[in-house]
């Protein structure tokens, strides 16, 4: 077909194909969720419904993008790890990040009423998204450890902050002052000695965040029942599994050798 004289403008598009043989992480994060969580009356410091909505939106992304081997989420963010040799969208960074981010956002809005039936959405939320490449397994594990350590640090701080306000009758300013310069041991001690809270007994979803993995289920499927063509075949179905565990230490990775080793299809 003849090309129009305008066709040349295509050359202005930049090529953003990601390096081969590297882990691709797409991280999405809520835009101004400080305001969003306030306006929608999220529980402080953690809203279980909000976190569940984030995870179900992430699961819908995983179901659509089969090359995602694992997703990790906490607060208003989710990281999607795509297998090293994915050829999805020719590894084009903007195509990957924008499609994943927009599917996450639309799922979040679509699923909202399931989690907040009593609270209509007040305005359309937005998420940013980026692709980051990690060339080695160590880099990838360190990346995920960084996000889980961030979850822990923020959650310990926020648990203290809101306990001081809700149970200790502190003002936000006073709570901030009390926590200034404290290390994690001090915060654990404050919770235990003043409020009888053992931080380690706080729900794992808050302390560890959420990891989504593929669960492979072997099934027998029968077709042509009652006819001479009846046959039963074994099929593997993949479902998304949600866990709230430590992913920094070696245990998780030795329990799931398929993640960093051979690919999951």
Interface with ligand DGT by CB under 6 A: which residues? 29-34, 37, 42-47, 50-51, 75-76
263: its two tokens: 């690919």
The reply to whether 33 sits near Mg ion by the rule CB under 5 A is yes
Spatial contact of 79 and 66, defined as CB atoms under 8 Å apart? no
Residue 201 CB, shortest distance to ligand DGT, in Å, is 19
Residue 31 CB, shortest distance to Mg ion, in Å, is 6
Residue 223's binding partner among ligand DGT, Mg ion, none (Cβ under 5 to 8 angstroms by kind) is none
Question: According to CB under 5 A, which residues from 245 to 264 bind Mg ion?
Answer: none
Query: Of 46 and 99, which has the nearer Cβ to ligand DGT?
Result: 46
Sign of CA dihedral 16, 17, 22, 27: positive
28: its two tokens: 């999405």
**What's the angle, vertex CA 60, arms to CA 221 and CA 54, rounded to 5?**
140
Residue 206 CB, shortest distance to ligand DGT, in Å, is 9
Query: Of 48 and 217, which has the nearer Cβ to ligand DGT?
Result: 48
Residue 19 CB, shortest distance to Mg ion, in Å, is 26
Residue 189's binding partner among Mg ion, ligand DGT, none (Cβ under 5 to 8 angstroms by kind) is none
Spatial contact of 240 and 227, defined as CB atoms under 8 Å apart? no
A 10 A CB-CB count for 71 gives 24
- Between CA 239 and CA 64 the distance in angstroms is 12
Among 18, 29, 121, 242, binds Mg ion (CB under 5 A): 29
């Amino acid at each position: 077909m003849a090309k129009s004289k305008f066709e040349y403008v295509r050359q202005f598009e930049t090529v953003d194909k990601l390096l081969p043989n590297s882990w691709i992480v797409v991280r999405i994060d809520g835009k101004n969720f400080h305001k969003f969580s306030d306006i929608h009356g999220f529980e402080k410091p953690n809203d279980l419904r909000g976190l569940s909505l984030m995870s179900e939106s992430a699961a819908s992304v995983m179901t659509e993008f089969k090359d995602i081997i694992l997703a990790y989420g906490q607060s208003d963010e989710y990281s999607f790890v795509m297998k090293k040799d994915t050829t999805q969208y020719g590894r084009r960074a903007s195509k990957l990040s924008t499609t994943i981010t927009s599917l996450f956002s639309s799922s979040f809005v679509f699923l909202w009423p399931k989690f907040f039936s009593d609270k209509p959405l007040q305005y359309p939320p937005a998420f940013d998204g980026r692709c980051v490449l990690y060339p080695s397994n160590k880099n990838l594990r360190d990346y995920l450890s960084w996000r889980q350590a961030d979850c822990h640090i923020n959650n310990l701080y926020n648990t203290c902050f809101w306990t001081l306000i809700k149970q200790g009758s502190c003002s936000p300013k006073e709570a901030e002052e009390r926590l200034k310069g404290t290390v994690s041991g001090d915060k654990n001690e404050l919770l235990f000695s003043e409020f009888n809270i053992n931080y380690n007994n706080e729900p794992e979803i808050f302390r560890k965040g959420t990891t989504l993995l593929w669960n492979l289920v072997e099934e027998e499927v029968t077709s042509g029942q009652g006819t001479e063509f009846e046959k039963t075949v074994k099929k593997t179905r993949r479902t998304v599994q949600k866990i709230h565990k430590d992913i920094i230490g070696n245990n998780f990775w030795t329990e799931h050798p398929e993640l960093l080793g051979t690919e999951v299809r």
